[in-house]
Chain A
Amino acid sequence: MSDLGTLYYINVVAMVVIGLYIVLTKRNVLKILIGLDILGTGVNLLIVVIGYIEGGTAPIYTAGISPAKFVDPLPQALVLTAIVIDAAVLAMAISIAIRLYKEFGTLDVRKMRLLKW
């Protein structure tokens, strides 16, 4: 694992932590959703990073390049799926946020506590 590789992993951890921090501490619903997105993106980054093989090329059949030199193609498929899923979650979340605003008249999570105990 090269230093560059470690940097990516630090990046991943940072994004996850920042995402969680935003989700946990911000009051505005939209900001929370952004935090959720950052969390998801961090995980997606993780997926991409683990697929990388030192000195590898794109995993496309080309004349003259043997498959042994490819980077792992599977994480690329996985991350596409994950990105799409994140997008769907976000779309759903925003529609819920619109609904929340319509019902509560505010985007402050702390005011939305009809259900408790």
Chain B
Amino acid sequence: MVSELLAIESLATIASAIVAKKSSKVAGIITLTSSVSILAYLMIIGPRVLYDVVSLGAILPGNIVIGLTQVGWYFSFIVALVMLMASMFSLEYVKKLNATYWLLFNLTFLGAIGVTLSIDLVSFFLFWELMTWSSYLMVALGDTRAGLKYFLFSILGSISLLLAFALMWRLSGSTIIPKAFPIVATSSTAIRIQLIMLLTVGFGVKAAMFPIHVWAPEAYPATPQPFAALFSGGLAKLGAYGLALLTMFVSASKFMMFEDVVWGYVLAWLGAVTIIVGAVLAALQENVLKLIAYSSVSQMGYVVVGLALMTSLGMASALYQALNHALFGSLMFLIAGAVYLATGTLNFKDLGGIADKMPLTYTAALIAVLSSAGIPLTTGFNSKWMLFEALIIKNYYLIASAVFVGSALGFLYNIKFIYGIFLGQRPKSLENVNEVGLLALIPMLTLAFLNLAFGILPGIPLQYINTALTSLGIPSIEASLTGIYTNIGYWNVLYVSVGFVLAFGLAMVLFIAGGKLRRVSVLETYMSGFIPPENYVLRINYDFYQPLKFVFGRYLRLSVDRAYAWTASLFVKVADIIRKPIYLGDAQAYVWYIIATIILFFLIFIVGGV
């Protein structure tokens, strides 16, 4: 039953690739149709266990199992939702896309959805690799250096996964995920440490976790924005999916040993560092896409921290944050896409003040930013609140403080995003900017709406999260439609929303009845009365956070990115040195090698006393 989904998507891929040369629009429609049908199917079926078994005969010591599990359903829903929004947006973006876009877009989605629909290790890895190379090609078409970096890190992740899967397969005798993953918990310490490290690296690369996150800030901006939405909203979640599987199986097994606790602590710190590093670097970016890319890295850090806690509240918060980041992160990319369509630029110094020209986009952006920053009544707040509760319950006060710092820093880039693009003074070049078309607005507004809806009704996503948790034997979270209960606190959205609406209504009444509008010149408030010359740039979009840069200056010089680059160039230098003495190009030298090898091995075997 479920494999039909993959068949549909494969057909869509081939069809859209063939059609794309003639008509990009038709290719887009094919893509859209298939993603709608996949999402619809998922929503109708709901989270439950349902699978097909495909046997590959003697070639494989095990079976291929394609199907749904509760956890897999949750993540495939996220991926399919993001894909739907991105496909619709792509139709509006069509003029900037070439024919290969549709092929790669569909292939990436096929890989991503295939990963979430795989119940066995082999197909999981197969679809993982498929997704990797198709997204790589998309990146490389935009920026080859970014593509190379992305692929090399991805290969590092893939090989870790392959080794880990091969070991797990061998040790458990089965390729089925629910049978193979628990091996991690029950193996000896030596093997367990290897497996955990390999799996963490493998999944962490995709999730852009520190310190293997360096590919993301260059890769995300290199792709067209709707693809970037799928990239950061969908693909990064697969890293989270893998980590979730790992942590969930380990914590469910009740075999928690000392190493697991240590690993959880280290992982949580890595997540916290990711949050902080991502946030700081995001705040300092002058390009919209790079800012969103770093913010993506930062937000995924929350997921990692939540999973690392391995308590049900922590993991629930991580799963929730995964959904939320898909909602507001991809929204941010789509907004950037809309801005690009409308203005043709994505540099902060050329943008500003287009809120009244693009009101709907602005509304969506505002909601996205509120959600990203974690303002109550948006879903971003719910997951962050749960995470803080979980951290405190587990007594990880240091990490909680670090996360809090990261969260505060998060405000910085969110404000910059909304202010730098939509508020402030508008440059002359943007006078004729129009709102984007319907096909772009619908996905943006839908995502914005979902941010608010799930913010006010957290019970809806939490219900599915609970299903996922309990399917693996982890206790569920107490939540009602509008409230979340933890051991130490209670977040009642209903009261707060009602209160908010009342307060807003009151303010509205006061405003209409009594307030007087007076035009205030930007100059007076901002320049404190000082009259600037004619050509003075009042917009503070450029170098918004100069003081911040000053504060962090010394730390910015340490760069994991540069460390990797240094290692790579060292390796290349070594390779260049070793080839000269070996491959001399001298015919007789090659015969010497033959003779020398014979003599050498003769001596080894004779002298070795064999």
Contact = CB atoms under 8 A, between A and B. Distances in A.
Are A and B close enough to touch in the complex, i.e. CB under 8 Å? Answer: yes
Interface string A23-50: 1110000001000000000000000000
Contacts of B583: 116-117
A108 to B, nearest CB: 12
A116 B590 CA distance: 12
Interface in B462-479: none
B585 interface: yes
Contact of A23 (B580, B584, B585, B591): B591
A113 B584 CA distance: 8
Interface in A1-32: 20, 23-25, 32
A116 B585 CA distance: 4
Contacts of B585: 113-117
A110 interface: yes
Contacts of B595: 20, 24
Contacts of B588: 23-25, 32, 109
Contact of B592 (A24, A109, A114, A115): A24
A38 to B, nearest CB: 14
A24 B587 CA distance: 9
Nearest to B582: A117
By size class, the interface of chain B is: 10 to 19
Contact of B586 (A20, A23, A110): A110
Given A24-B592, A24-B595, A109 B587 contact: yes
Interface residues of B, dominant DSSP: helix
A109 B588 CA distance: 8
A65 interface: no
Nearest to A116: B585
Given A24-B592, A24-B595, A117 B579 contact: yes
A18 to B, nearest CB: 14
A24 B591 contact: yes
Nearest to B589: A24
Interface in B562-610: 579-580, 583-588, 591-592, 595
A112 interface: yes
B580 A117 contact: yes
Interface of B: 579-580, 583-588, 591-592, 595
Interface of A: 20, 23-25, 32, 109-110, 112-117
The 5 tightest CB contacts between A and B, nearest first, are A116-B585, A113-B585, A117-B583, A117-B579, A24-B588
Given A114-B585, A116-B584, A117-B584, 16 more contacts: A20-B591, A23-B588, A24-B588, A24-B591, A24-B592, A109-B586, A109-B588, A110-B586, A112-B587, A113-B584, A115-B585, A116-B585, A116-B586, A117-B580, A117-B583, A117-B585
14 contacts: A23-B588, A23-B591, A24-B588, A25-B588, A109-B587, A109-B588, A112-B587, A113-B584, A113-B585, A114-B585, A115-B585, A116-B583, A117-B579, A117-B585
